[in-house]
Structure 1
Amino acid sequence: MARQLDLSVRPIFSTPLLVFAVPDCACINQELKQAVLDHESTQLTYADREVIGWSSPHDMSMMEWAGKPLKQLFDAVTQVAELATEFSGRTGRTAQHPHWQVVEIWSNVQRNGGTNGYHAHPGSYWSGVYYVDVGDITDMEDKGGELQLFDPRGCLPRMLAPYLRYSLPELHDAGNTISFTPATGQCVMFPGWQHHAVAPYKGVAPRISVAFNLEPILNK
């Protein structure tokens, strides 16, 4: 008769993926979509080797031509970042939450064949993307355009033993890529070191998003 073992299995080294619906997104999206498409029609794309599609400069200049809806958007974004982060024990301020500021914003417009290559956002604690309009992306049809998130450990868990996997469902993604299908009005945030990409988009309607990087405000 087999002995019963007291086994405790704890998934460790988790990576946070924050997904939330932005309040009043319909109004925000209406203004942002028009502003982005107007800007796309008059401005050349920013030189970004990772992007197939149109992109605006990776700085704060977007506040000049889309400031009103962006302010409302980033009020929600910085609130989430504050709730999801606290000072470490090294500061003597444990359990206190730092305030956050946006330091880079840019918009992306992708049509049929558009994509974003594998990359991370060095120097940012939190990065994210807001979906102004996901175009023709749905869960029912394969139109591409998913946000792809790569295991920070790379393919090592699968390279060592591709015929095995951990028995806990929470660990079945080890060594894999997770594909997240976005919805219009959704915001996704992740650590800046998290490598990610956008799968080739196969829709007709423009896929419009706003990407951003955040930094903590440490003097408050």
Structure 2
Amino acid sequence: MAKELEINVRPIFSTPLLVFTIPDYERINQALRRAILEREASTPAYADYEVVGWSSPHDLSILEWAGPALKGLFDPVIQVATQVTEFSERAPDRSGSRPDWQLVEAWANVQRKGGSNAAHPHPGTFWSGVYYVDVGDISSDGKCGGDLLLFDPRGCLPRMLAPYLRYSMPELHDAGRNISFMPAAGECVMFPGWLFHAVGTYAGKAPRISVAFNLDPVIRK
């Protein structure tokens, strides 16, 4: 067998997936869980045809009824967005500096047995994310479902010609596939708003509770 050539593999067009734990999440989750379940019991679900389950309106009304616990949630979310984003060379007077961020939408989700969320992006927003208040039931074999699915933005193109092949580099094994993320209570996941994502069908008995949100930069002239 011929000696293998030395190859410099450079994965390109990376997509950021940010995963972090919110400080003091036990206290935040206790208050949020109570507020969200009370809201679910007293208010019809928002008419979101992508969702099988209960969802509050996709606006900022959650700030009015969910109480001060949300401040402890969104302050670190804004901090993370600031840490990982900067102005590009297209803004030469600000290049390398970091923008300020604003919460433009936030809503609660409750998934019970059979709940899911169809694949969709969040158009018109820079960062999107979801915070897990209560993950309900999670089984070691994954049969409870309800995981977050993130889809390759290149679609299925890397797998269309020869779906039985894959790139031999481990960091490229996800090309053309979706990535499954199993949440934990207190974890927050952020990703670009243009990234298609979904929630698999949940089979657990205990409710899975989350808060989704969108962030946009504050534009200053």
- Note the alpha carbon deviations across 1:135-179, whole angstroms, 9 max, x for none: 002444420010000111111111111121111100000011111
Taking only the aligned residue pairs, the percentage that are identical comes to 65
Specify the alignment match of 1:72 in structure 2.
Answer: 72
Structure 1 residues not aligned, in runs of 5+: none
Do the aligned partners of 1:109 and 1:209 also contact (CA within 8 Å) in 2? yes
Paired with 1:75 and 1:64, the residues of 2 have a C-alpha distance of 17
Task: Show the 5 A alignment for 1:181-220.
Answer: 181-219=182-220
Structure 2 residues not aligned, in runs of 5+: none
CA change 1:107–1:208 in 2 (3 A) is same
Do the aligned partners of 1:147 and 1:199 also contact (CA within 8 Å) in 2? yes
- Note the alpha carbon deviations across 1:101-134, whole angstroms, 9 max, x for none: 1000000001100000110100011000000000
Equivalent residue letter for 1:12: I
The CA RMSD measured in Å over matched residues stands at: 1.4
Specify the alignment match of 2:82 in structure 1.
Answer: 82
**Residue 164 of structure 1 aligns to a residue in which SS?**
coil
Specify the alignment match of 1:125 in structure 2.
Answer: 126
How big is the shift at 1:4? 6.0
How big is the shift at 1:2? 4.0
How big is the shift at 1:46? 0.2
Do the aligned partners of 1:126 and 1:214 also contact (CA within 8 Å) in 2? yes
When the two structures are aligned, how many residues end up with a matched partner?
220
CA change 1:193–1:141 in 2 (3 A) is closer
Paired with 2:212 and 2:106, the residues of 1 have a C-alpha distance of 6
**Residue 91 of structure 1 aligns to a residue in which SS?**
coil
Equivalent residue letter for 1:210: V
TM-score, structure 2 as length reference = 0.96
